Structure 1
Amino acid sequence: IALPEVASTINKQMFGKIDHWIKIIGPTNVPRKAVNIEAMEDNFFELEGTRIEIMPKIMGDLRYNTVVWVPSIKLLYGSDVLFNESHPFTCEITADERKQWLKDVEMLEKLGAEIVIPGHQKPGMPFDSSCFTYMKKYLAATEEELANTSTTGEFFLNMALRFQGSNLIFLSNEMNAAVFKGGRDWEWRDDEN
């Protein structure tokens, strides 16, 4: 199940994304056929008596993401909005959208979740609020390095040095550097309409 607009985006983008990712993670790690996504009528559902809330249109590494909040146990699943010790894609959205991403991270932090599951994190990191601090620092650093670097290599190196030990360095950080400073085409906007 998914919210109607999310179901539509998944159905439009699924195989384009698979074609890209199969080259990176291999053919055994991606779905082989489309899944029928049913549109939800409300922004919540109940599972065994527990209310699970779906928070739509939260800015993250792609416009937009869906976050899951389970208020009864104060659990937040951050999808591609929250990362922890893991370089996020920041290159698929505009500067204004990155500002909104920061605001949305701050809004999610105010929920007071006790268990926070980022969409991506370095193995061994706790499922706690440390991802909020990481994301706020990373988004600020992205803007600083965009302003202070002029080449792909400079951007890549500076972000790698600022976030030493973070994973996805040769995936997300490389992609960010290539798109921001190297002119690499990476445009998924056509699939959103």
Structure 2
Amino acid sequence: MADTNPRAITAETNPRGIPVAPFVDDVSDYVATRADVEATLKSFQEMISKYQYMEVNTQRRGAGLRDKIPDIKKTMEMVKFLKVRREKNADPLETSFELNDTLYARAAISPADTEEVYLWLGANVMLAYPIAEAESMLQEKLAAAEQSLANCEEDLEFLREQITTMEVATARVYNWDVVQRRKEKADGKGDEEGKTQ
């Protein structure tokens, strides 16, 4: 037996599991009686709050990825630079590197000594990788970060649509309730006038 309750929760979601907001086409089908209006409006406000919470978190995640992607690209460029210098057997490279926030040291890096690079993985963890492995790992991380950013942008658009849908549904239910109250009030006045005559 099929569920004909219009308020039944749909299992429809976007690819990352964010539920689709219910579209209220006919309020009288969605809200059985005026007594259900307050509970319906409350549930709609809760859903809007949840969507807004997801939107804020998705915006933060997107901002973090926008900061992270240039760092990955910069690191990948440096790994490629070292790889090219090693292949060409170029002269030693003179550089300054950071020891601490305000302390730098000068060094001469011979291409023969650049068999591996040290990469920060996060959480104060650094690992040594052969140059070719480091390059492929960074390419994978860059592709994953760019895909995550695209997903975040898609989710933000989806969440904005769901918030708008819920706000429209809230307005429709509220307006329907106002019309019903006016009808009841008009019906009540009409009955009282009939009794006084």
Normalising by the residue count of structure 1, what TM-score does the alignment of the two structures yield?
A: 0.29
Query: Greater CA radius of gyration, 1 or 2?
Result: 2
Structure number with higher helix proportion: 2
Using the size of structure 2 for normalisation, the TM-score is 0.29
